[in-house]
């Protein structure tokens, strides 16, 4: 096993660029159903980060829109990291568990 050194480190931007260049099959290794959901997850992180600085309704609306799109593209919302969540009272109403399960079955059957 190769021992990592300081020269092996990359920036967050470089890491994101590498991740965004991966194929659907490659991102599945990281727990994402497809590359689109990975891109959306980065967008969700950006939105929640902005919201922490400027708590606007527009950012909450955009957050909900992106999260719903992630779910509709096969994302398991139960794996949403705490740092990517808004306060409980601002989190969107999620589809019922059977609907989420049906979406997951469609994307995991591929």
Instruction: Determine how many CB atoms are found less than 10 A away from the CB of residue 73.
Output: 17
Burial of 42 per CB tally in 10 Å (0-12, 13-18, 19+)? middle
Mean pLDDT, residues 12-19 taken together: 89
User: With contact defined as beta carbons under 8 Å apart, do 99 and 72 qualify?
Assistant: no
Mean pLDDT, residues 16-37 taken together: 92
Q: Show the CA angle centred on residue 20, arms to residues 18 and 25, nearest 5°.
A: 100
pLDDT per position as a tens digit, 63-92: 999 999 999 898 988 889 999 999 999 999
Higher pLDDT, 11 or 104: 11
pTM greater than the 0.95 cutoff: no
User: With contact defined as beta carbons under 8 Å apart, do 32 and 38 qualify?
Assistant: yes
Q: What is the pLDDT of residue 6?
A: 85
pLDDT per position as a tens digit, 40-68: 999 999 999 999 999 999 999 999 999 99
Mean pLDDT, residues 17-40 taken together: 93
- C-alpha to C-alpha distance for 99 and 25, rounded to whole angstroms: 24
Which of 44, 77, 80 has its CA nearest to residue 62?
44
Alpha-carbon dihedral sign for residues 17, 83, 103, 105: positive
Q: What is the pLDDT of residue 110?
A: 56
């Amino acid at each position: 096993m190769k021992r990592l050194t300081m020269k092996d480190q990359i920036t967050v931007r470089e890491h994101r660029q590498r991740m965004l260049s991966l194929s659907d099959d490659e991102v599945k290794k990281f727990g994402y159903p497809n590359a689109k959901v990975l891109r959306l997850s980065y967008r969700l992180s950006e939105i929640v980060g902005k919201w922490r600085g400027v708590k606007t309704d527009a950012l909450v609306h955009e957050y909900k829109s992106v999260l719903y799109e992630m779910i509709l593209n096969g994302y398991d919302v139960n794996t949403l990291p705490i740092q990517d969540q808004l306060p409980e009272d601002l989190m969107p109403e999620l589809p019922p568990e059977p609907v989420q399960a049906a979406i997951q079955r469609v994307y995991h059957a591929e």
